[in-house]
Structure 1
Amino acid sequence: MTPSARAVLTLVRAPAALSVPGDVLAGAAAAGRPLRPSTLGTIASSVCLYWAGMALNDYADRDLDAVERPERPIPSGQISPAAALTVAGALTAAGLGLAVLAQGRRGLLSALPLAGTVWAYDLALKPTRAAAPAMAAARTLDVLAGAGPGGLRRALPTAATIGLHTGILTALSRHEVYGAPRAVPLTSLAAGLTVGAATFARGRRARPADRLTAALCTAVYTAGGVRAHAVAARTPSSLRVRQAVAAGIHGLIPLQGALTATAGRGALGAWIAAGLPLARRLGRKVSPT
């Protein structure tokens, strides 16, 4: 049976990909690269690889989801395991192909490690202690893809900041089904505050207009994270943990906007952050977790 479009969109958590373009744009801004058509191609490649990872995640977790999340597309019968694996493979191929179209051999050299990290995480690393570092590495590589080969050193602090946020969030997400020890959301709360403070400090070196944008985006990022993670720390149930994880995924958007503004691209940073309301609204229809 051919799966419905809604089943596929749910499988890949389609709206959550709104958190992806900001990685590439923040990396390009940090490296001082102008926005070119190749940047859009790199974004499209990253979105495809993100969706591939989501589909592959459900394929790998199909037996576990049958017990813990029977409403997911595979255990509910909306899509077969073979179809989910096909979607993951097709999106990976599309992501690599778009990377080549965007930047040729250089694009492929950036996209291959990212694709490899995604597949390694879903098929081997997720149940291990390497899960959070692997996801952090994936987001870090995504930012560096936007920086390009000549801008890796300049973009590394931005990439590391987004990677740290992602790694802590991944550690929290392991407790979405059964709830978490209180120390876990407390750790993610402390990490979010640290990331926010560091980003705010970096923004103070920017031009006044960019500094203002960076400060506003940082405030949105910090406020959203503090609220959701503080609730999860007070009541670390599965529901509160899932809400905190969703808030963290959406929080990537203002964080990317703030980091882009600190690199002197305040207008672009504001444009990135403006995607947050849409991401939240769509996240109510298709869960990002």
Structure 2
Amino acid sequence: MTAVGDVLELVRAPAALTVIGDAIAGGYAGGGRLAGRRWLLPLASVFLYSGGMALNDYADRRLDAVERPERPIPSGRVPPRRALGIAAACMAVGVGLAATGGGRRGLAVAVPLVGAVVAYNTVFKETAAGPLSMAACRGLDVMMGARGVATALPAATVVAVHTAGVTAQSRGEVHGGSTGVALAGLAVTGATTIAAVGGGRADDVPGRGSRTRVAATAGAVAGGIAYAGTLLPSQLAALADPSAANVRTATRAGIGAMIPLQATLVARTGAVVPAAAIGALDLVRRALAARRRAGDVT
């Protein structure tokens, strides 16, 4: 019988915290804020991400049986059909929440996002286009929060570029990576940090005073430092020794760094309080990650 903990492990529950800020960043980058039903959009991201993780393990079940037999499907804790059903249910709920929270415009982004998630897991994951395919997923997630507003494209691009770098590095998690990929990852981190901190919109928003602009700048710089600080130690370790263990650590850091990156993107619009709230999610993620390493949370 499948336990709740097995399902949580299948959908990578702690990692779902890293997508909540996508929609919030998109909303503020699009010139608005999340209010009322629009707060359902971050929840939609969580369900779509969870469905993607379940689909990932379903698609990789035969490979995982050889390389990662401890995972829920190859270990027999979650039957393949049940995993596929969980993936479909999560995505259906996610689309429903996107439609409720974002209306037709939110739905118009959520549907292609589901298509991108399915395409990555079933077609592109093991190809050269894999990192770009995954980047498209996260970029669309940001745009879903913005309900397709074009002014959110720079923020979506920043998240997408970071995602491409992490995805490329993750390919060495089992057999080890390479110095070239590690160097590329460092370059992506540097470029993403500069783009995230330097692309503020506070000056362009009517009614923004000098105090808001100062707060936006300070918040963005603080977020950028947190983002780079989360990534650089493990990336430098992977550069010095691109072993599978070091690559896995760098990949986990890259996934976690999504949160301070999102906080930076929100802070640079002048929305410092929401940015701080997103940053607090990173503390929760770190606590859950520590408990997971101790075997308490899957």
Q: TM-score, normalised by structure 1?
A: 0.95
Q: Is the 8 A contact 2:202 2:270 kept in 1?
A: no
Partner amino acid for 1:183? G
Alignment of 1:123-134 (within 5 A): 123-134=122-133
State the Cα deviation string for residues 171-211 of structure 1 (Å, max 9, x = none): 11111101101111111011101111222323597611121
State the Cα deviation string for residues 148-178 of structure 1 (Å, max 9, x = none): 23x2x21111000000000111011111101
Change (3 A) 1:132 1:54: same
Matched, 1:166 2:172: no
Task: Indicate the SS of the match to 2:54.
Answer: helix
Partner amino acid for 1:9? L
Matched, 1:92 2:91: yes
Gaps of 5+ in 2: 204-212
Q: Aligned residue for 1:40?
A: 39
Aligned counterpart in structure 2 of residue 246 of structure 1, from 222, 240, 252:
252
Cα distance between partner residues in 2 of 1:274 and 1:92: 27
Aligned counterpart in structure 1 of residue 183 of structure 2, from 176, 183, 186:
186
Change (3 A) 1:23 1:225: same
Q: Aligned residue for 1:209?
A: 215
Q: Aligned residue for 2:107?
A: 108
Aligned counterpart in structure 2 of residue 156 of structure 1, from 153, 157, 169:
153
Partner amino acid for 2:196? T
Q: Is the 8 A contact 1:45 1:95 kept in 2?
A: yes
Cα distance between partner residues in 1 of 2:166 and 2:289: 17
Matched, 1:237 2:234: no
Task: Indicate the SS of the match to 2:173.
Answer: coil
Q: Aligned residue for 2:195?
A: 198
Task: Indicate the SS of the match to 2:178.
Answer: coil
Aligned counterpart in structure 2 of residue 255 of structure 1, from 253, 261, 271:
261
Partner amino acid for 2:157? A
Change (3 A) 1:225 1:204: farther
State the Cα deviation string for residues 51-106 of structure 1 (Å, max 9, x = none): 00000000000010011111111111111111100100111111111122223332
Cα distance between partner residues in 2 of 1:221 and 1:125: 28
Cα distance between partner residues in 2 of 1:171 and 1:219: 23
Query: Aligned-pair distance for 1:125?
Result: 1.0
Moved over 3 A (4+): 203-206, 284-289
Partner amino acid for 1:100? A
CA RMSD across the alignment: 1.8
Query: Aligned-pair distance for 1:124?
Result: 1.2
Cα distance between partner residues in 2 of 1:92 and 1:83: 14
Partner amino acid for 2:219? T
Q: Aligned residue for 2:19?
A: 20
Query: Aligned-pair distance for 1:46?
Result: 1.2
Cα distance between partner residues in 1 of 2:181 and 2:243: 12
Q: Is the 8 A contact 2:176 2:242 kept in 1?
A: yes
Query: Aligned-pair distance for 1:286?
Result: 4.6
Task: Indicate the SS of the match to 2:34.
Answer: coil
Task: Indicate the SS of the match to 1:159.
Answer: helix
Identity of aligned residues (%): 44
Q: Is the 8 A contact 1:7 1:79 kept in 2?
A: yes
Q: TM-score, normalised by structure 2?
A: 0.92
Q: Is the 8 A contact 2:219 2:264 kept in 1?
A: yes
Q: Is the 8 A contact 1:24 1:39 kept in 2?
A: no
Change (3 A) 1:137 1:222: same
Alignment of 1:53-68 (within 5 A): 53-68=52-67
Cα distance between partner residues in 2 of 1:132 and 1:101: 30
